[in-house]
Amino acid sequence: MRLADFILRDIEPILEHWEAFAATLTPAATRMGSMELREEAQQVLLAVATDLQTPQSRDAQHAKSWGQGSGLVGVTESAARTHGFLRARAGFSVNQLAAEYRALRASVLRLWMDDCVPEAPHFDDVIRFNEAIDQALAESVTSFNAQIEQNRNLLLGMLGHDMRSPLQAIKVTASYLAALNAGEQVSTAAGRLIRSGARMQALLDDLTEFNRTQLGLGISVAPTHVNLADVLSDELDALRATHPDRQIELQVTGDLKGVWDSQRLQQLLGNLVLNAIKYGAPDTPVRVTVTGDATQVRIDVCNHGAAIESATLAHIFDPLIRGPNRQNEDEMAGNLGLGLYIASEIAKAHHGAIETRSDETETIFSVLLPRAEP
């Protein structure tokens, strides 16, 4: 008997084997009944049987063996994708999901081969079946991972939101203690709390912005008529106050009036300058040059120091990715490695872009902001 016909004839015994194995995948399975344990299993098997019964060219078979298949033949909505989604929602691990398909493969082939005796099974059916199971597994894992990623982003979003209230209470209390003038020890402790609170707030803001982009919401901007000369100068004054040991220079040329989100561009500049302070040579200034012409404004942030490796430079705006020499420094500083990514997203939200170049003498981050019509 051909394998597709066997699956269609004996689908209930196969499903019993599926259910029995799925019930062993604890702790998630302990909360599930028979219908949930079999979730989409029958549809997956029917899709596999349909795939086996559909003629397949050598080219299509080769593409499928290389993982380039477009899905199971004749299936519009993949039961495997749905299965992966539901298993993620139920609390299964990706290893448990893969184990289900491994057990399904073994049980179907064993039952079919036993049924074929004394005749020999069709070898081509074995190849086609393994390809179909591999395709279903790949679709399930893709859907599973997408759901886990969404769950993680939603959790981070809720965490960031819920942490704001207690953090604000800590900062307000610390400011109150600092204003009491209750002695040097109290003032020192209050100052430490204020600085730590500000650091936590910066990390929380980075986490919130990253979470928005991962959920597809992007960086929110509220453009108004501003003069970037004043906006960026105010940000650099604040940075000079917090880093009195570093020299930060500003040079402005041309017309810098336009329609932008001033707070977001201060955040962008702050992230770039802090990056330059952190990784630039400490005995050299950080130079900020802002130039405005008829079509755009260009912001260049330059620092001297060691060149950024080409491999790192290619992914420098990727989130949560840092160069090998920067990993330990950022972790010790409590840095999430999101500053450059967020700066890039802010530029994109203004329909602009950031580019960078680095050699043995200097590293320059250049922000290009098109002028918006009033």
Residues 198 and 74 occupy one common structural domain: no
Span 69-75, average pLDDT:
51
- The proportion of the chain whose per-residue pLDDT surpasses 70, expressed as a percent, equals 83
Query: How confident is the model at residue 74, as a pLDDT?
Result: 45
- The Cα–Cα gap between 69 and 54 comes to 14
- Predicted pLDDT of residue 104: 94
Same domain, 195 and 147: no
Residues whose CB is less than 8 angstroms from the CB of residue 209 and which lie 6 or more positions away in sequence, other chains included: 219, 338, 342, 345
Q: Residue 94: its pLDDT value, please? A: 92
- At residue 59, the pLDDT reads 77
**pLDDT of 206 strictly over 80:** no
- How many residues can be counted in the chain? 374
pLDDT of 76 reads: 38
Q: For residue 155, what pLDDT is reported?
A: 67
> Domain check: are 336 and 250 in the same one?
yes
Look at residue 12 and tell me if it is in a domain: yes
pLDDT tens digit sequence for 112-134: 999 988 888 888 889 889 988 98
In the DSSP assignment, the letter for residue 257 is E
Segment 247-266 mean pLDDT: 92
- The average confidence (pLDDT) of the chain is 83
CA-based nearest residue to 130, from 69, 190, 173? 69
Comparing 324 with 273, the larger pLDDT belongs to 273
Reading the block at residue 253, the tokens are 């040329």
Residue 57 clears pLDDT 90, i.e. is over it: no
Residue pair 193/170 in contact by the 8 Å Cβ criterion:
yes
User: Which pLDDT score is estimated for 225?
Assistant: 92
Same domain, 146 and 170: no
What values do phi and psi take at 220, rounded to 5?
Answer: -80, 135
State the DSSP H helix or E strand holding residue 214, giving kind and residue range, or none if neither: helix 184-214
Instruction: Return d(Cα 302, Cα 364) in angstroms, integer.
Output: 4
State residue 220's pLDDT score. Answer: 79
What 3-state DSSP class applies to 189? helix
Query: Cα(139)–Cα(78) distance, rounded to whole angstroms?
Result: 8
Chain position carrying tokens 């691990």: 93
Least confident of 88-92, 166-170, 209-213, 234-238: 209-213
In a domain? residue 157:
no
**Residue 82 falls inside a structural domain:** yes
Residue 210 lies in domain: 162-214
Instruction: Name which of 258, 252, 272 is nearest 346 in CA terms.
Output: 272
Question: Do 168 and 198 fall within a single domain?
Answer: yes
- Residue at a domain's end among 100, 127, 152: 152
CA distance linking residue 116 with residue 122, whole number of Å: 9
Kindly state whether residues 312 and 341 are assigned to the same domain.
Answer: yes
Mean pLDDT within 42-62: 84
Q: What is the mean pLDDT of residues 155-159?
A: 65
Do residues 201 and 238 both lie within one domain? no
- Say if strands 286-292 and 353-358 run parallel, antiparallel, or are unpaired: unpaired
Residue at a domain's end among 152, 173, 205: 152
3 state DSSP class of 68: coil
Other CB atoms within 10 A of residue 234 CB? 12
Candidate from 32-36, 164-168, 169-173 with smallest mean pLDDT: 164-168
Q: What is the mean pLDDT of residues 252-275?
A: 91
Lowest mean pLDDT among 17-21, 219-223, 261-265: 219-223
Bridge partners, 368 (sequence order): 298, 353
**Interval 240-253: pLDDT, tens:** 887 888 999 999 99
Query: How high is the pLDDT of residue 54?
Result: 85
Burial class of residue 69, CB neighbours in 10 A (0-12, 13-18, 19+): buried
- Domain-located, residue 360: yes
Q: Which of 111, 132, 152 is the last residue of a domain?
A: 152
- Asked whether residue 166 carries a pLDDT value surpassing 80, the answer given is no
pLDDT at 162: 64
For the domain that residue 327 is a member of, what is the CATH number? 3.30.565.10
- Per-residue pLDDT at 293 exceeds 50: yes
Model pLDDT for residues 324-343, shown as the tens digit of each residue: 555 444 444 445 567 888 89
Model confidence pTM above 0.75: no
d(CA 341, CA 354): 10
* pLDDT mean over 74-82: 69
Co-location of 291 and 359 in the same domain: yes
Q: Are residues 205 and 247 in the same domain?
A: no
**Domain for residue 258, yes or no?**
yes
The answer to whether residues 245 and 198 belong to one domain is no
* Residue 195 pLDDT class (50, 70, 90 cuts): confident
- Distance, in Å, from the CA atom of 275 to the CA atom of 348, rounded to the nearest integer, reads 19
Indicate the number of domains in the chain: 3
CATH number of the domain bearing residue 33: 1.10.490.10
3 state DSSP class of 345: helix
In a domain, 219, yes or no: no
Whether 197 is covered by a domain: the verdict is yes
- Whether residues 42 and 135 share a domain: the answer is yes
Residue 354 predicted with pLDDT over 70: yes
**237 and 285: one domain?**
yes
DSSP state, residue 122: P
Separation between Cα atoms, residue 325 and residue 336, nearest integer Å: 15
